[in-house]
Structures are given as structure tokens and as C-alpha cells.
Structure 1
Amino acid sequence: MEKGRVLIDADACPRQALVIAQELCKEFGWLCLTFASYNHQIGSEHHVTVDAGPQAVDMKLANETRPGDVVVTQDIGLAALILGKKARPLTPHGLVFEPERIAFHLEERNEKARYRRGGGRTRGPAARTREDDQRFAAALRSLLERGETYEVDG
């Protein structure tokens, strides 16, 4: 029987982060579920394939999330939904979204989108490094060891 679940937004998850998550889930006895559109080939024992429509993966993942789950995603909007379900959102770079800071992350995302709509350019993501892998593994390991949930205001 699994201790908990890790749900992964596999559409945008780097391959190495996916491998790390699968290995840690096996080590800690957690179920690892991946979610992706049918446009992506994901090698996972427990995989959910959804339509390729906009936000289809995010909505399926949000609907499947339960309190206590760990959810790996780079989507800040999805992370906010996940926090509302008393689950733990984590980026593939090792950032654990906290209820106290999610409003800041959402505002930062909106500011960058506004800047781009006005003709500005923002830089894309940096190339993934070994340090990113180590940071992600450490953050996920910590969440799995604690297996904790917390109360979210509102």
C-alpha cells in the first residue's frame, strides 16, 4: 500500500526530474502518477493521458489532486489551485510553493505577461543543471520524508 501520491505535470517536466521523482517514490513507497497530453510519450507505469486542448492536463491534474499529495508542476496558476486543495506543489527546480508566497508568484507572472503584451521580451528558462537536479531531489525527498499537509487560509 502506498504512503502517499506524487502527481507530475509531465507535459513540461524535464526528463531527469521525472526520473528522480520515480526513483524517490519507489524508495519511499509513494505512488507516482504522471499526466500528459497524448502528444507526449511518457514512460511511466501509472500514466494518465488527456486531450491536447489548452489547460487539459492542468485541469485533470487539479481534479485528481487530494489533500496530502505532492504535485510537481512549473505552472504557478496550477500551484495556486493545488495549495487550495491542501496539497504540496513543487517545481522541477526544487521550489516548494508556500501559501504565504503564492500571491507574490502570481503577481510576478502577471507582471511578466503584461510586459510581454506591451512588446517587451523576457528571458526564457536557463538550461537545466546538475544543481537543479540536486535541489529538486532534496526538496522532494524532504516532502516525502515528512509526508505533511498544512492548513491553507481562505
Structure 2
Amino acid sequence: MKIFIDGDASPVKQDVVEIATNHQVEVVIVTSVDHFTTKEYPANVSVVYVDKGQDMADFRIVSLIQKCDILVTQDYGLASLVLAKARVIHHSAWEYTTDNIDLLLAQRYHGGQLRKAGHRTKGPKPYTDEQRYSFRRILTKVLNEQLAIKAD
């Protein structure tokens, strides 16, 4: 079992690394070469760089992710592609499910249509300490559930 991070715009990379390290779980950060870093990570963390281009990180994640893995992403489309084999968590501390993904994709489509028509839509609000705490709590919960499944 691994935790994958859609790393281009994730505000929770360090939180995931810390929690995974405490649980002795591997982390794979997938990000564009545009976000290359010399940052040192613990031994359980690897960084996969992909070429520039729309959805390149998404395609790599889809090809790498396995059953029982966990993905952290804010990308609804990517979430929908891996939901059948992995648990998927948004950094705003909620989990993508088969019950909510269709509505999320419809909202994304509607927002895109509004922007295409020239309407302005609101962007995300700044990430708060409360959201970070909630994210850490849900990631720990999901990770413990996945570890329990793996142990069986």
C-alpha cells in the first residue's frame, strides 16, 4: 500500500509525509518537472517527475496506482479515474466516493461552462489550520482502515 499525492498544487504534502512516515507507509509524490525541488524527503518518500503538459501527472498516477492505495488530490477528474481501485481524499478533508463523484464532476463542468461564457467564478479560499487539522484526521482514519484491510 502506498499514498500518492497529486503534487503540483497540494498544500498537504508535508502532512501526508509526516503521517505516512509515522505509519511506515510509502509516499509517491507525482508532479511536473516545472515543480522540481531539491528538498530532502525521508526514505519512504519518492518523487516522480513528469513532462510538462496538461494531465501528465494524472496519467502517471493512473498508471501507477494499485488496489488499496490512497490518493490525495483536488482533481475531480483524476479522482473519478482511480476511485474503483483506491481511496481518494481531497485536501479539504473529505473523501471522494461513488456517491458524490457524479455531482462533483457535474459541478466542475458547469463551472467550466460559466468561465467559457465569460463569467467569473470564485477560486479556492486560503487553506486554514482548521482544514489542515481535519485533513490530517481523515487521512489518519483512512490510512488505518486501509492498513487493517491489508493486515487481513
Fold equivalence (TM over 0.5): yes
Q: Which runs of 5+ in 2 are unaligned?
A: none
Runs of 4+ aligned residues of structure 1 deviating over 6 Å after TM superposition are none
Contact 1:79 1:89 in 2 (8 A): yes
Give the secondary structure class of the aligned counterpart of 1:54: coil
Q: 1:116 to 1:59 in 2, by over 3 A?
A: same
Name 1:34's counterpart in structure 2.
29
Contact 2:36 2:49 in 1 (8 A): no
TM superposition shift of 1:115: 1.0
Report the aligned-residue RMSD. Answer: 1.6
Name 1:55's counterpart in structure 2.
55
Q: In the alignment, residue 23 of structure 1 is paired with which amino acid?
A: E
TM-score (normalizing by structure 1): 0.88
Cα deviation digits, residues 85-107 of structure 1 (max 9, x gap): x2011111112101111001000
Q: 1:22 aligns with which of 17, 23, 32?
A: 17
Q: Which runs of 5+ in 1 are unaligned?
A: none
TM superposition shift of 1:149: 10
Name 1:7's counterpart in structure 2.
4
Percentage identity across aligned positions?
A: 28
Give the secondary structure class of the aligned counterpart of 1:71: strand
TM-score (normalizing by structure 2): 0.90
Cα deviation digits, residues 97-149 of structure 1 (max 9, x gap): 01111001000101111111111111011001001101110110001111179
